Amino acid sequence: MTVIVAATANSHKFEEYKALLGSEDVELHSLLDYPGYTAAPETGTTFKENAAQKALDACKYCDRPTFADDSGLEVTALNNAPGIYSARYGKDDADRINRVLRELEGKSDRSARFVCVIAIAINGEVIETFEGVMEGTIIEAPRGENGFGYDPIFVPEGESRTFAEMTQEEKNQISHRARALKKALEFIEDEMSVLDDEFDL
């Protein structure tokens, strides 16, 4: 049984990861299992830099193979804001949603995308990063109770419901996080024997 740490203290993200991983060979821990750990402030200028920083930092603390994600919403008409500042765009989810809606008032282009970059760190080294993107549209007013963050205002491409109106399973079929994790899992599967030899997992 390999213990892998998902370097997040966000219980919503952790639940999504647990549902996505679903492997009996892997036990997934989160930072909630390491209450003494304090995450360093995010100082990167890209999702990739932030994901790598989070994975490396947590890997060094937990001494386990670790993966971390950095994710956010890019709105085309707002020059891709809030982007890496998605979690810091207001005091809570409702405030952040209202800010995006207010800033989009009067703009005809409501296209947006969720981006997720996952970084994997083993033995104090970032070994790879993976990106997942889900394109979509920002609607005029929030709809739905599921999910988290900007889910109530985001309708993914090819859908009429927001992420917050879908079940977790439905969101997990298509989400940016699922897409990035799928690539990461394919890499781990392909490279597992090499990683095993190299890092003695």
Q: Which residues are marked as active site?
A: 70
CB atoms within 10 A of CB 125: 12
Which helix (H) or strand (E) segment holds residue 22: the answer is none
CA 118 vs CA 52, 99, 129, 144, 180: distances in Å: 8, 27, 5, 27, 6
Q: Residues 151, 156, 166, 179: which binds ligand IMP (CB under 6 A)?
A: 151
Binding ligand IMP (rule: CB under 6 A), the pick from 65, 72, 132, 136 is 72
Comparing every residue's Cβ against ligand IMP, the nearest one is 149
Residue 71 touches ligand IMP, criterion: CB under 6 A: yes
Bridge partner residues of 29 (DSSP): 5
Task: List the one residue out of 118, 130, 136 whose CA is nearest residue 174.
Answer: 136
Report the distance separating Cα 111 and Cα 98, nearest Å. Answer: 17
Q: Which strand (E) or helix (H) includes residue 173?
A: helix 168-174
- Which token pair is 63? 């001494």
> In the bound complex, what is the minimum distance in angstroms from residue 70's beta carbon to ligand IMP?
5
**Binding of residue 70 to ligand IMP (CB under 6 A):** yes
Kindly state whether residue 132 participates in binding ligand IMP, applying the rule CB under 6 A: no
Least separation in angstroms between CB 149 and ligand IMP:
2
Q: Are 130 and 115 in contact (CB under 8 A)?
A: no
Task: Supply the minimum distance, in Å, between the C-beta of residue 3 and ligand IMP.
Answer: 22
140: Cβ contacts below 8 Å, ≥ 6 apart: 101
Sole window of 137-145, 149-157, 181-189, 190-198 interacting with ligand IMP (rule: CB under 6 A): 149-157
Instruction: Count residues binding ligand IMP (CB under 6 A).
Output: 17
Report the nearest approach of ligand IMP to the CB of residue 120 (Å): 16
Name which position in 53, 66, 162, 175 contacts ligand IMP (CB under 6 A): 175
The residues that touch ligand IMP, with contacts defined as CB under 6 A, are 10, 69-73, 86-87, 114, 147-151, 163, 175, 177
